[in-house]
Amino acid sequence: MNKKGDDAMILNGIGASDGLGLGNAVCIRESVLDYTGVIYAGAEAEKARLLAAVDAFCRDTERMTQKMSGQVGQHEAEILSGHIAMLADPFLRAQLEEKVEQGSVAEQAVDEVCAFYEELFSQADDELVRQRAADVRDIRNRLLGLLLHVKPIDLSALTPHSVLVAPDLTPSMTVGLRAENVAAIVTQSGGRTSHSAILARALGIPAVLGVPNLMNALSDGDRVLVNGGTGEVILNPDAAQAEAYRIWNEASIRERQSLQAYRTRPTENADGRRVSLYANIGSTAQLDEVSSVGAEGIGLFRTEFLFMERSDAPGEEEQYQAYRAVAGAMPERDVLIRTLDIGGDKDVPYLSVGKEENPFLGYRAIRYCLDRPDFFSTQLKALLRAGAEYQNVKIMLPLITSVEEIRAARALLEKCKAELQEKGQVFDRNISLGVMIETPAAVQLADQLAKEADFFSIGTNDLTQYTLAVDRGNAKVEQMYDPLHPAVLRSVRQVISAARKAQIPVGMCGEAAADPKMIPLLLAWGLDEFSVSAPSVLTVRKWISQWSDRQAGELAQRVMELVTTEEIHREIEKMF
């Protein structure tokens, strides 16, 4: 925290959802859930109170889940239904009952058992497991609220220009929250991949998370300016800062309006050369937004979200329905569905990947799937069937490092086709099988992989991490993580060139596809397809339209003669 001027004070956190927000702080403090005065009514009576509270909890949660899936998205709703699954755990139930049998009131049983799990999860190495501590805290507070008849926090009553300030933002708190009333979100805990960050981005609200000592620094009604890009929270912004916000806000409204003109335009450069512009999605709930921005296909459907926040894997039918929904939403368009990419930072406890020293280099993605052919076949069959109706589904394999992997996947795919055929089920016999290029090994082997794969999609998020040996989630080395590093650029150019020689389509679904500095280079090298998050589609279409082949080609040539990342940034910036 540092002081600026007389009143203005800047708090620093992690910028987790882009944009600026100016408004008045509404501080959500955890309600006092004091049960010291509650008198023990005997084991049976306490058990009955406990059960009634758990039942009410599950009913409320189901109601909230339904509201949430329409309002924010399926994945976010699944976080909530995960709470019901946690409470259904027989071991946890037994622990609660044992406590009341030993003389604890129901409230104390809940408090102590939840504290045990919160402690356990918060010490895990894996960030996603650590985030489950926030879920347990949410469950504890809601159960205690029910037992003590304390009303839960209701954010539906927030008035416009509120800046939501909270220790953490839990999914249950956000039910009923109207995004148009919330100028920004600031929380004391949480990181870039925490539930709060996912929710803020899904709602399109600027957010800064992980601000130390936040709840002591701000009070209700404080005027705050939040910068979700830099992670700054300015308390009592001065006139110049407020004016800067006003100018930014007006410009961003004008920009949003002017971008609407790109909704129905073809994606082409200044010379009228067409490229494809697809969208990345993580759940079927994002399909409406994808259509509303005029995306021309799905370039990446991250299927792991179907497997998360639940206690067992979805079966063939459930997967088929999800993939079919995506294929059906884009009947005339390509739909690239990535096979399960778990491991690394995406933990799915029931799949028992296990704890590893170096999870990003470990048992994950295609390695896990090929090691469990039965499990993998379920997904492949669901994909084959989902492609039957419109023949638009393409299967994409993550983390490929060798020709053997694609051969093994193809062999399994053929086996799945034979099994479906035997059962008389309809499926797409000619389904495309492509690979993600996201490891240095795949870059070096691109010419060989191009003979085996039907298409490439470059995953720069991982390719940058593995090429530069920089953990993509480690804040300490964040400044070294840069897709414009010359080594990454050479890799990207090499992959595009290999695909073109082999005459297979090549796209990019990593975040770099939406980077204005990367776009001219990708255009110059001949990338066929850009796949970006839905909110970026219109902006990327506009940026693409601004480059002629000559301009982009000359810039790419100059850039590739440079040897430092800094020089590359400067050279490209000269063009803006």
Catalytic annotation, residues: 195, 509
Per CB under 6 A, the list member of 168, 334, 428, 462 interacting with ligand PEP is: 462
Give me the least distance between CB of 28 and ligand PEP, in Å please. Answer: 31
User: Among Mg ion, ligand PEP, none, what binds residue 282 when CB lies within 5 to 8 Å by partner kind?
Assistant: none
Asked if 155 contacts 137 with a C-beta cutoff of 8 angstroms, the reply is: no
Nearer to Mg ion, 438 or 528 (CB): 438
For the chain, the straight-line distance linking the first and the last C-alpha, in angstroms and rounded, comes to: 34
Rg (CA), the chain: 25
**Ranges of H-type helices in 157-238:** 171-174, 195-203, 214-217
Give me the least distance between CB of 306 and ligand PEP, in Å please. Answer: 14
User: Among ligand PEP, Mg ion, none, what binds residue 509 when CB lies within 5 to 8 Å by partner kind?
Assistant: ligand PEP
> 234 forms bridges with which residues in the sheet?
10, 225
Tell me the one-letter amino acid at 463. Answer: L
Task: Choose the binding region for ligand PEP from 19-27, 402-410, 454-462, 550-558 (rule: CB under 6 A).
Answer: 454-462
Nearer to ligand PEP, 460 or 467 (CB): 460
Q: Assign 3-class secondary structure to 372-441.
A: CHHHHHHHHHHHHHHCCCCCCEEEEECCCCCHHHHHHHHHHHHHHHHHHHHHCCCCCCCCEEEEEECCHH
Q: How big is the site for ligand PEP, counted in residues (CB under 6 A)?
A: 10
User: Among ligand PEP, Mg ion, none, what binds residue 510 when CB lies within 5 to 8 Å by partner kind?
Assistant: ligand PEP
Give me the least distance between CB of 460 and Mg ion, in Å please. Answer: 9
Asked if 458 contacts 507 with a C-beta cutoff of 8 angstroms, the reply is: yes
User: Among Mg ion, ligand PEP, none, what binds residue 485 when CB lies within 5 to 8 Å by partner kind?
Assistant: none
Residue with tokens 């430092």: 564
Q: State the residues that interact with Mg ion by CB under 5 A.
A: 438, 459, 462
Residue with tokens 């693409």: 544
Nearer to ligand PEP, 461 or 546 (CB): 461
- Residue (of 145, 307, 270) closest to 523 by Cα position: 270
**Ranges of H-type helices in 204-310:** 214-217, 239-259, 287-292, 304-307
**What are 40's two structure tokens?**
């023990």
> Which residues does 576 contact at the CB level (< 8 Å), separation at least 6?
516
> Which x/- pattern, by CB under 6 A, does the window 69-108 give for ligand PEP?
----------------------------------------
Give me the least distance between CB of 304 and Mg ion, in Å please. Answer: 10
Nearer to Mg ion, 31 or 461 (CB): 461
Per CB under 6 A, the list member of 170, 172, 392, 460 interacting with ligand PEP is: 460
Give me the least distance between CB of 168 and ligand PEP, in Å please. Answer: 24
By the rule CB under 6 A, 461 interacts with ligand PEP: yes
- Residue (of 506, 396, 491) closest to 445 by Cα position: 491
Alpha-carbon distance of 513 to 517, in angstroms, equals 9
Residue with tokens 């996201």: 438
Nearer to Mg ion, 245 or 301 (CB): 301
> Which x/- pattern, by CB under 6 A, does the window 424-443 give for ligand PEP?
--------------x-----
**Which residues, numbered 288-307, are part of the site for ligand PEP (CB under 6 A)?**
300, 302
Alpha-carbon distance of 214 to 104, in angstroms, equals 34
Nearer to Mg ion, 35 or 360 (CB): 360
Contact footprint for ligand PEP (CB under 6 A): 300, 302, 341, 438, 459-462, 509-510
